[in-house]
Structure 1
Amino acid sequence: MKEDVYTRLGERLNKNPTRMPLVPEVLGFLQSIFNEEEAQVGADFPLGSHPVEALAEAMEREPEELRAMLESMADKGLVFSKDKDSGVREYSLPPFMPGLIELQLMRGREDAVEVRQAKLIKKMLDGVEEAVKGLFMMPEKARRVIKPALRTLTVEQELPLESGVQPYERVAEVIKAESSFAAAVCHCRQQAKLTGDPCKVKDAPSHTCLYFGSAADYVVDRGFASRATREECMEILEASEKAGLVHNVSNFDGDNIVLCNCCGCCCDFMIKMKKYRGVRMVYPSNFAARIDGDLCIGCGECLDRCQVAAISLDGDAAVIAGEYCIGCGNCATVCPQEAISMVRCAEKAPPPRPDFIVGLGV
């Protein structure tokens, strides 16, 4: 019975955009955060966002009893809650990510419970990697199958001086378009720290995951993150750029959910992209780094800066592997010779935000 309800919960979660193979490590993670009754509620959760009365009818439960359970689950990051303009509160089931996984470590605690959770998440990610390793070994097929939830934004100061740069390509414009903000501890770096392999990036800010809109309201109201202003978000982005972190934002246009600032030593996406060359776990920006061989002196500053190991030295000059470059622009920010520039390589616009996505819930 227990195994069946967690399998059903996993199958329901896999109706969301981000899916996981239901290997034992994934089911073990679900068992660690959902008790059996909570798992039953999650398994029976209809797609979309619903008021408690509609959920009670669909699940054949008493409304007030279900409301109390949903509020408890929302406090634990197991369901997402959103207050509509009408004053009605609606609930939805978050995806594996961004959602359930990140919420377990976002508070930044370092007690025994959080250490245990970090180890379970690492075990789960290792189990998932083992299960899909065959796919990762076939990059072309992996690119067709894997639909990244995030896309990279180029460091704005390195964007080419052209009138055609679109608002969705500028990190400042992404922030400007939002009205509600929250800053949270990076789940990836927190997990790495609690499992004994802390981040290698010098001076990386701690609160580098920025949430927007109803997602920001939820993580603040439930104590997962701190309220931030637009100006504070820009300061975090500036500090992240100074440290060499990569801006990765929700891969749709308008009403973004999250903007992460990622490193190649802790971010599971970046780690996979370095380990399985050619696999795309985030969509690249529309810009790519180019090196002027006449100016490059082979100092190597850009090598350490690249979070996806797309740069190498060939004699006395740096060389960029274009198929691995994600167009973040961090290499250009540290080149003492100004030998690296960002050039447009694509015109791809992110798709409109799907109607079924509600904050962190679906």
Structure 2
Amino acid sequence: MSFLSENEDIYRKLQQHLDTGPIGFPRAKSGSDIRLLKAFFNPKQAEFATKLSFFPSPLKSIYRRTKKEGMSLEETKDMLDDLVENGLILHADIPDTGERIYLNAPLAVGFYEFNVNRLTKERAEAFDEYLNEEFIDEYNLSGIPQLRTIPLNAALTSDNIVMTYDDVKQLIETHKGPYSVQDCICTQEKEILGTPCKHSFTDRCLSNNQWMIDRGDAREISKEEVFKILKKAEEDCLVIQPWNFQEPGLLCICCGCCCGILSNIKKLDKPSQYFATNYYSEVDGDLCSGCGTCADRCPMDAITIEDVSIVDRDRCIGCGVCVPTCPSDAIHLRNKEDVLEPPKNLIDMWRKIGAKKAELSKATINK
């Protein structure tokens, strides 16, 4: 593998390569970008990852690139297997042929989440520093989030128009499986950094990822167990955030204290504009007693009490956490007028994010 180099340049090369993706990896003035990459990739992995792209490629296509650098087909496959095993790239098997395809993963949602149970203090500190310095702005840049917010089922009524992609029960019922649960990596990070999660359970991220089960990082569960976890989420004021496409294979159950998305966007003046959601909460002032239960449960500080509860729609993300426990049945979810239909799949979502970023970049240049 004559093309490999262990100098500092390879990590800058990887940073620049990852920054070409739909969810970029911008350079950080402090060097936190390079510290993060060094915490996850060894030099050999970093060099090879630059040979991949953000669109799926089979082994033979990748080999056409690597053989120019003196690698054999077997060496190429071994490196791909190593990157997969270490959660540094995405892969999938084509159903009809069984052929495996590979592609680069962004930082998040991507190789960070794929390293659940493998965080070290070095990794946690590097991610936290880079997230706050650069990545949260990159995540928000296109206005098309990678995760969408869907309501708790208990918050929906017959008055609501509910599409399948907004109905967590339907998403689970129509899923072929396997069903699995794993620990939330955000809570693992906060635990390492000395601020443990305030909620009652952290093994709550749901997926259909057989690879995570095989690797031992996720536990296979029944459909009934999935619904028990969702019920616990309702009781524990947690927010349901699946991947932002129509048949998501990942469903995060997030808390306001640990989730990198919720906790950081919550700091902004109008956080709702950064979430993909089709609902908002509304209070019936005639029924509301002003008890404050809804305000205590809201993960976005969207509710204040002025004799009765007042919902700030600029802060409300339509999660429905406030609805099920209202003793006066005074707060309900309402459909937004403009319906957000999610992309069809992961690649479609990435294309839309990339196109929007290109549009914004062009507009900036033309100013």
Does TM, normalized by the shorter one, top 0.5? yes
Match of 1:16 in 2: 21
Match of 1:154 among 148, 151, 155: 151
Structure ranking higher on relative contact order (CA contacts 8 Å, 6+ apart): 1
Give CA deviations for 1:251-281 in whole Å, capped at 9, x if unaligned.
1113x13111111111111112221121458
Quick one: distance in 1 between partners of 2:142 and 2:61? Answer: 35
Give CA deviations for 1:145-185 in whole Å, capped at 9, x if unaligned.
43211111111122131474221121111112322222111
Quick one: distance in 2 between partners of 1:55 and 1:356? Answer: 22
Match of 1:320 in 2: 311
Quick one: distance in 1 between partners of 2:21 and 2:349? Answer: 9
Match of 1:62 in 2: 72
Whichever residue aligns with residue 21 of structure 1, its letter is P
Whichever residue aligns with residue 325 of structure 1, its letter is C
Q: Which runs of 5+ in 2 are unaligned?
A: 355-367
Give CA deviations for 1:13-37 in whole Å, capped at 9, x if unaligned.
2333322322121221111111111
Quick one: distance in 1 between partners of 2:142 and 2:90? Answer: 27
Whichever residue aligns with residue 81 of structure 2, its letter is E
Residues 83, 89 of structure 2: 8 Å contact kept: yes
Q: Which runs of 5+ in 1 are unaligned?
A: 136-141
Whichever residue aligns with residue 11 of structure 1, its letter is Q
Whichever residue aligns with residue 12 of structure 2, its letter is T
Match of 1:336 in 2: 327
Match of 1:139 in 2: none
Quick one: distance in 1 between partners of 2:22 and 2:222? Answer: 29
Whichever residue aligns with residue 170 of structure 1, its letter is D
Match of 2:244 among 251, 256, 271: 251
Residues 269, 281 of structure 1: 8 Å contact kept: no
1:68, CA displacement in angstroms? Answer: 1.6
Alignment of 1:99-178 (within 5 A): 99-104=110-115, 106-107=116-117, 114-128=120-134, 132=137, 145-162=142-159, 164-178=161-175
When structure 1 is superposed on structure 2, of 143-152 and 297-306 the one drifting more is: 143-152
Q: % of aligned pairs identical?
A: 29
Residues 145, 276 of structure 2: 8 Å contact kept: no
> RMSD of the TM alignment (CA)?
2.5
Quick one: distance in 2 between partners of 1:29 and 1:150? Answer: 23
* Helix, strand or coil at the partner of 1:330: coil
Match of 1:291 in 2: 283
Q: 1:280 to 1:149 in 2, by over 3 A?
A: farther
Match of 2:361 in 1: none
The reply on whether 1:34 has 2:41 as its aligned counterpart is yes
Whichever residue aligns with residue 331 of structure 1, its letter is C
Residues 20, 96 of structure 1: 8 Å contact kept: yes
Match of 1:263 in 2: 255
With structure 1 as the length reference, what TM-score do the two structures score? 0.86
Quick one: distance in 2 between partners of 1:276 and 1:33? Answer: 30
With structure 2 as the length reference, what TM-score do the two structures score? 0.85
Q: 1:218 to 1:253 in 2, by over 3 A?
A: same
Q: 1:50 to 1:284 in 2, by over 3 A?
A: closer
Match of 1:211 in 2: 207
Whichever residue aligns with residue 65 of structure 1, its letter is E
Quick one: distance in 2 between partners of 1:263 and 1:40? Answer: 36
Quick one: distance in 2 between partners of 1:208 and 1:160? Answer: 25
1:355, CA displacement in angstroms? Answer: 4.3
